[in-house]
Amino acid sequence: MASNFQSIPVIDLLLTNPPTRPQLLRQLRQALTEVGFLYISNHGVPQSVISDLQAVLPRLFELDQGRKDAVALHHSPHFLGYSQVGSETTAGREDRREQFEFATELEESWAEGQPRYERLRGPNQWPSAEADIRCSIERYIEELTRLGERFLHLVAEALSIPPEVLFSFLSDQHRLKLVHYPPSEISADKNGQGVGPHKDSSGWWTFLLQASPPNVKGLQALNRNGEWIDIPVIEGTFVVNIGQAFEVVTHGMCKATTHRVLSGSLERYSVPFFQGVRRNLTKSEALNALKDYIPIQQPPSQSDVGANIDSAFLRGRYDTWGESQLRTKIRSHRDAGRKFYADVFDQYINDDN
Ligand SMILES: O=C(O)CCC(=O)C(=O)O
Ligand SMILES: [Fe+2]
């Protein structure tokens, strides 16, 4: 559980220069171990790349329903494409948001006989509309991939872990969601649910662009006292938060903090980039890789390593990260699951753990 934080720290990446580097690393370590959320400023992603992506958002979501349906997620065995409002539930309630999901552009390489989860890897569905939309999104994914790598180097230094150990967990596929929260009639104090309380389960780290002006609110993180702390828009920053795989690998020292989005009377756009975890990662690798660097924290009465970490991957019956992810995707997108993974569909839907 995160600490009793009251605000989200801002880490200025310009401070990586020698005289201020130790101070930056101290701030970063504190943010990682006590909050699980931070803003980064002076992050090095060109403003033009961000502005181009922001310009794409209203154009994409204003496409007519036919063009959205043509790239619907249920056409994709890789779970990439468009999902309409109301197609997801979180914490037992329907989310009010629509989204386009993209990923690092990759060929499908899965063949019969390989692990089924390898089929998560594959090409995007691009709306046929305008070629420049694809260009802006691909450029953004490239920049965020590099930002994620720069950031991982700093995390390694802040936690005194060799960078190559952290890099060994990365996937060839990172995912990007373009998200639109339509205006809601339910006022924020009555908890209109943009997306319900959750920890990010699909990536190693999340780099979030809050793509609406600062008067548009909604994102909040949960502290140890059970208070929801606002994460307002700060222009020129990304919000960075820890995904569940990183919590597992660091034995719970770095927390994947619960967060949510309330929908309000103003529409809101956001763009989370989920840095990917390699699909063949096993539970024992995840739990043992950092043993020499991070003490295993667990209550004395619990004998299982990792027993004090709340993780569907560790709790679940499947040994690889890839299979655990595939199960999650099939459960949240049942049309695609039934169509492309008929042989395991019933098993994944009914194996509640
Ligand atoms: O829209 C946001 O600001 C956050 C979205 C989010 O938490 C998610 O998609 O995992
Ligand atoms: Fe999230």
Distance 111 CA to ligand 1 centre (A): 33
Distance 89 CA to ligand 1 centre (A): 13
Of ligand 1's listed atoms, the one at least distance from the Cα of 181 is 1
Distance 21 CA to ligand 1 centre (A): 30
- Is residue 4 in a domain? no
pTM for this structure? 0.95
- Is residue 1 in a domain? no
User: How many angstroms separate the Cα of 341 from the Cα of each of 50, 84, 201, 206?
Assistant: 36, 22, 21, 27
- Tell me the pLDDT tens digit for each residue of 84-95: 998 888 888 899
Q: Ligand 1: which residue has its CA nearest to atom 1?
A: 270
Distance 102 CA to ligand 1 centre (A): 15
Q: What is the DSSP string of 208-271?
A: EEE-S-TT---EEEE-TTSPEEE----TTEEEEEE-HHHHHHTTTSS----EEEE--SS-EEEE
Residues 120, 175: Cα–Cα separation, whole Å = 11
Pick out the chain residues at pLDDT < 50. 188, 299-303
Q: Domain of 133?
A: 10-350
- Is residue 5 in a domain? no
Of ligand 1's listed atoms, the one at least distance from the Cα of 218 is 3
- Is residue 298 in a domain? yes
pLDDT computed for residue 267 by the predictor: 96
- Is residue 344 in a domain? yes
- Tell me the pLDDT tens digit for each residue of 62-118: 999 999 999 999 999 999 999 999 888 888 889 999 999 999 999 999 999 999 999
ipTM of the complex: 0.99
- Is residue 154 in a domain? yes
Distance 223 CA to ligand 2 centre (A): 15
Ligand 1: residues within 6 Å at CB?
177, 179, 195, 200, 208, 210, 219, 259, 261, 270, 272
Q: What is the DSSP string of 131-155?
A: HHHHHHHHHHHHHHHHHHHHHHHHH
pLDDT computed for residue 298 by the predictor: 56
Ligand nearest to the CA of 83: 1
Of ligand 1's listed atoms, the one at least distance from the Cα of 231 is 3
> What's the total number of domains in the chain?
1
- Tell me the pLDDT tens digit for each residue of 133-160: 999 999 999 999 999 999 999 999 999 9
The CATH number of residue 76's host domain is: 2.60.120.330
- The pick from 208, 260, 268, 329 for probing ligand 1's pocket by mutation, whose C-beta has the most ligand atoms within 8 angstroms, reads 208
- Is residue 2 in a domain? no
Helix (H) or strand (E) holding 25: helix 21-30
Residues 159, 162: Cα–Cα separation, whole Å = 9
- Is residue 188 in a domain? yes
